[in-house]
Each structure stands twice: as structure tokens, then as C-alpha cells.
A = this chain, B = another copy of it.
Amino acid sequence: MLSKNKIKFINSLRLKKFRDINSMFIAEGNKLVNEIISSELTIHFLIYTNKWGGHLKASNNIKELIETDETGIKKISQLKTPPNVIAVVQFPEYSFSISEISSQLSLVLDDIQDPGNLGTIIRLANWFGIENIICSKNTVDMFNPKVVQASMGALLRVKLHYLDLLNFFKDIQSNSDIPIYGTYMNGENIYKSQLSDKGIIVMGNEGNGISSGIEPFITNKIAILNFITGQQEPESLNVAVATGIILSEFKRKAN
């Protein structure tokens, strides 16, 4: 049964503070929850209605199964259309390795604020085989419910590390010489640039771009050329869309 205390506890996880204290987040909906069940993550509560198709027993992976009705699900769901299944999941644990990052292509997010943008970027990272995303401390939380829903299962397959970016870049610089790419209006045309299959791509904040404290670490300034004709206001691309175009360009060359 879905007790009042459980409802209260689960709803507390809407806030980052309580997610962090408990190391738990909420995942809603059949597709996402099924992916979590097949993963190695621990599910503390699996709450479902009799309309849910899954047949499961409590196991090491699933601590507690709770059947409820649509009224019960509504009390804990944050979706417009409440799903038939919701899971309360233990944070994934994974290691952060400078030497791994020095041998791959990775993303750095410098204060991405919009949960939909972060979710889309996680999906893109997964699509293009990026294993690590380093986020500034002010980047929106990866376990924000809107990020979890927007990232789909990709959140389970990409490692996100929330770090002090200045320290991270100092670390990278003293341990490797991989290029650090950043997008600037006056950067080099990405279509004609030499793009490495190892390196770091920094994506800046939606309104302000890459912060001035990070700029000195950028070794390669790049730009996505626009094809706008005539006099116009300077335009910009949405950061998630720009990330997609840039990752595609890096990977097509490495391919």
C-alpha cells in the first residue's frame, strides 16, 4: 500500500536537497522504468497500478513493490498524464577518471539551466557515443524530474560529473594535451576545422555563452557557420541543437 508517509517522502524528492540527502530520484513511465529494471540500478520502491503490464517479484534490484490505483499514482506523479508505473531509484555510482577523459571525446557544460536542454544533450551524448559529461556546479541537476524525462534512458548510459570547472580544467591541462573546443561567434568554421577524436567540447550557458573564467582554457575556438543572407540581428542556435550539430560534425570526421 502507498502510505501517506511514502507519498510525502516520494514528493520530497522533487527537491534537489532531498534527492541529495537520500541519494534517490524518481523515474516515471513504462519505457523508462523498464530500462531501469533491466539495468543494475537499485530500485527502492516500484509503484504500479493494475494497468501496468510488468510481472515482477521483489529482488536485490527491487526492494519493495507497491500496488496502488490511479488516485495513488496521481498523488506522486509530476506528469500531466499520470503513468502506470513509477520507480524511486538509487543514484548510479561511477568513477571519474582524468585518464579516461584524456583518451576520449567528452562534453563540458558551463551552467546549462534548462532541464529540457540538459535532457536533450544527454540523449545526444548517448547517440554519439560520448561517455562522460562534466557539468559545472551551477548546471541544472541531472536528477531534476524534467531532465530525467527528457533524457529518456540515456541517463543510464552516460556518466555525468558535477565538478568545479576551474579545477577540472587545471587537472586536464596538467595531465594531458588534448584540445579544448569552445563555440564563439568569431571561431573557426567548424566545417573546415581539424577536429580531433579526443578532446573536450565546452557548451556555454543559454544566455551568456561560455563564462569568462573558462575562456583561457579554450585551445580551439570554433563556430557553426550560418547561411543567413542580408542584414539581420545576430542570431544564435539553441544550445541543445548546437550540441547536436557539433557532435555530428566531430563524429562524421572520426568515422
Contact = CB atoms under 8 A, between A and B. Distances in A.
Number of copies: 2
Interface stretch (A44-52, A55-63, A139-147, A221-229): A221-229
Given A116-B116, A241-B244, A242-B244, 19 more contacts: A35-B233, A124-B237, A124-B241, A126-B235, A127-B227, A127-B228, A127-B235, A128-B227, A129-B226, A129-B227, A129-B228, A153-B235, A224-B248, A225-B251, A227-B255, A237-B244, A241-B241, A248-B248, A248-B249
A235 B128 contact: no
Nearest to A191: B252
16 contacts: A35-B233, A116-B116, A120-B238, A123-B238, A127-B226, A128-B226, A128-B227, A129-B227, A129-B229, A191-B252, A191-B255, A225-B251, A241-B241, A242-B244, A245-B245, A248-B249
Interface residues of A, number: 36
